[in-house]
Amino acid sequence: MSILLKGGTVVSAHGRRQLDVRLSDGKIIEVGGNLLEEDSRVEDVTGRFLLPGFIDAHTHLELNNGPGTQGTADNFATGSRAAVAKGTTTVIDMATPDQGGTLQSCLATWNRLAENKSSCDYTYHMSVIDWHAGTADEIKAMFNQGITSFKMYLAYDNLRASDSELYEAMLVIKKYGGMLGVHCENGELVNEMIAKLVGEGKLTPYYHPLSRPNALEAEAVTRYLTIAKMAELPVNIVHLSTKEGLEAVRRARQAGQQVFVETCPQYLVLDDHLYDLPDFESAKYVCSPPLRSVADQEALWLGIQHNDIDTVSTDHCSFNFHGQKDLGKADFSKIPNGMPGVETRPELIYTYGVAKGRITLEKMVALLSENIARQFHLFPQKGVIQPGSDADIVVWDPNVQSVISHTTQLQNVDYTPYEGMATIGAPEKVYLRGIKVAENGQVLIEKQGKFVYRHTKNQPD
């Protein structure tokens, strides 16, 4: 039976109109003014906004979950449930191979982790963490299995690529029309800074941001964009956090380069004062890149307003404060890096962006849904409310007030970096391919998520 959402205001990246929306068989089948009831079940959404389901293009729902490693607190089941409860209907998770593992076996692992467990739709960015004779063919094989985006790292000893590996990978990704995202920090100098600080007995989380200064992000952004220019590949910068990094992007764009930029809620609403808390509390905020200054935060909001920043995703990578973060009690460099956030992004961006007058609701739709869908080969299946698209719809109540707390969150982690923050606006109902999967922040039906198969214009044959 079809469903008719009646009386709401449909919002896209480009505007809003009061329109009714009819859903059937998982798709949006009709959008128009005053649609007739016909044989549909009517849901009254008067006074609500209808937003395309949000897409989180940067999650680590299962990082290091191999044997003998310290895995993330969340897994696909818990992370995707928290996501969909608050309006995120698709995640693009970071599939990360073990050292020496093939991309194919990594894909199999991630499918096993997600299949029949995910409560939102999903796909992956495949991480390329080493380069050998067969890697180009391994990348090609990913395109033939619906994976069109890739991730590489310029930091972390177990993950990072050399400049030449980056260049080689770019040529292959370009050939098939794929998208590359890179973690931009100069890993070698980060190591040097950590060694220096630790050697001087500077061991508390206070020193974490000092080991990863702004300049090391800006250097890596510049190097990455230089290599991408040589390879003639449009590329994505993940979790951009600094004014200097943004300036490097602007220079490249002024010279004609196509660059996509992601930032994350933590860089927009939290700042580096949080590294000065007593009792090891600051460990909760140890992520890379680190939280930055209030000046960086303002530069990022300006970057959003000026279209320098295209997308906001979370980099959700949750570790418990007790039992995981505290492994670094005696040495900040041993604190597992990352913060939870897949659940809180929509409310934070609405509260600190839309409600504060920094951005329009249309801009929020662009940042959290449409731009991501377009960039990662999901559009128009995802990212827009129009006939033919998947019926992924968030019924947004702009007035509801709430307070973020680890005691009420669905994320399976013992803290939230946003504890006690008051929010305004929340998803009232969430539809995933026409199924009402969440209402008032609670999941109604679990594990309805499906793998989203993506294509590019230059698919290999």
Residue 308 or 315 having the CB closest to Zn ion: 315
The distance of closest approach from Cβ of residue 225 to ligand URP in the complex, given in angstroms and rounded to an integer, is: 19
Which of 348-385 are b and which e, b meaning 16 or more Cβ less than 10 Å from the residue's Cβ? bbbbbbbeeeebbbbbbbbbbbbbbbbbbbbbebbbbb
Residue 89 or 313 having the CB closest to ligand URP: 313
2: number of Cβ within 10 Å: 16
Residue 297 touches which member of Zn ion, ligand URP, none, C-beta under 5-8 Å by kind: none
316 near Zn ion, judged by CB under 5 A: no
Residue 76 or 431 having the CB closest to ligand URP: 76
The distance of closest approach from Cβ of residue 251 to ligand URP in the complex, given in angstroms and rounded to an integer, is: 24
130 near Zn ion, judged by CB under 5 A: yes
244 near Zn ion, judged by CB under 5 A: no
Residue 338 touches which member of ligand URP, Zn ion, none, C-beta under 5-8 Å by kind: ligand URP
Residue 331 touches which member of ligand URP, Zn ion, none, C-beta under 5-8 Å by kind: none
120: number of Cβ within 10 Å: 32
Q: Tell which residue, 189, 103, 111, has the closest CA to residue 151.
A: 103
- Contacts of 106-115 with C-beta under 8 Å, sequence gap 24+, read 107/142, 107/145, 107/147, 110/62, 111/451, 113/61, 113/62, 113/65, 113/75, 113/76, 114/76, 114/80, 114/449, 114/451, 115/451
Report in angstroms the alpha-carbon separations of 327 from 71, 274, 321, 330: 13, 19, 9, 8
Q: Is 164 helix (H, G, I), strand (E, B) or coil?
A: helix
Residue 130 touches which member of ligand URP, Zn ion, none, C-beta under 5-8 Å by kind: Zn ion
d(CA 362, CA 75): 31
Pick the stretch among 181-189, 246-254, 300-308, 436-444 that binds Zn ion (CB under 5 A): 181-189
**What are the helix (H) ranges across 330-383?**
345-349, 361-365, 371-375
Residue 47 or 323 having the CB closest to ligand URP: 323
The distance of closest approach from Cβ of residue 401 to Zn ion in the complex, given in angstroms and rounded to an integer, is: 31
Secondary structure tally for the chain: helices H, strands E: 12, 19
**In degrees, to the nearest 5, what angle opens at C-alpha 323 toward C-alphas 322 and 325?**
75
392 near Zn ion, judged by CB under 5 A: no
d(CA 258, CA 248): 13
Residue 67 or 100 having the CB closest to Zn ion: 100
Residue 8 touches which member of ligand URP, Zn ion, none, C-beta under 5-8 Å by kind: none
Amino acid at 260: F
The distance of closest approach from Cβ of residue 159 to ligand URP in the complex, given in angstroms and rounded to an integer, is: 8
DSSP β-bridge partners for residue 432? 435
d(CA 353, CA 371): 17
183 near Zn ion, judged by CB under 5 A: yes
- Exposed, middle or buried: residue 119 (CB in 10 Å: 0-12, 13-18, 19+)? buried
- Exposed, middle or buried: residue 76 (CB in 10 Å: 0-12, 13-18, 19+)? buried
The distance of closest approach from Cβ of residue 315 to ligand URP in the complex, given in angstroms and rounded to an integer, is: 5
Residue 57 touches which member of ligand URP, Zn ion, none, C-beta under 5-8 Å by kind: none
The distance of closest approach from Cβ of residue 427 to ligand URP in the complex, given in angstroms and rounded to an integer, is: 25
Tokens representing residue 211 in the block: 């080991």
Residue 121 or 315 having the CB closest to ligand URP: 315
Residue 62 or 138 having the CB closest to ligand URP: 62
The distance of closest approach from Cβ of residue 241 to ligand URP in the complex, given in angstroms and rounded to an integer, is: 10
Binding residues for ligand URP, per CB under 6 A?
A: 60, 183, 287-288, 315, 317, 337-338
Largest CA distance in the chain: 74
The distance of closest approach from Cβ of residue 206 to ligand URP in the complex, given in angstroms and rounded to an integer, is: 17
315 near Zn ion, judged by CB under 5 A: yes
Residue 288 or 351 having the CB closest to ligand URP: 288
The distance of closest approach from Cβ of residue 153 to ligand URP in the complex, given in angstroms and rounded to an integer, is: 7
Residue 287 touches which member of ligand URP, Zn ion, none, C-beta under 5-8 Å by kind: ligand URP
The distance of closest approach from Cβ of residue 261 to Zn ion in the complex, given in angstroms and rounded to an integer, is: 14
Residue whose token pair is 């770019």 = 170
Given the rule CB under 5 A, which residues bind Zn ion? Answer: 130, 183, 315
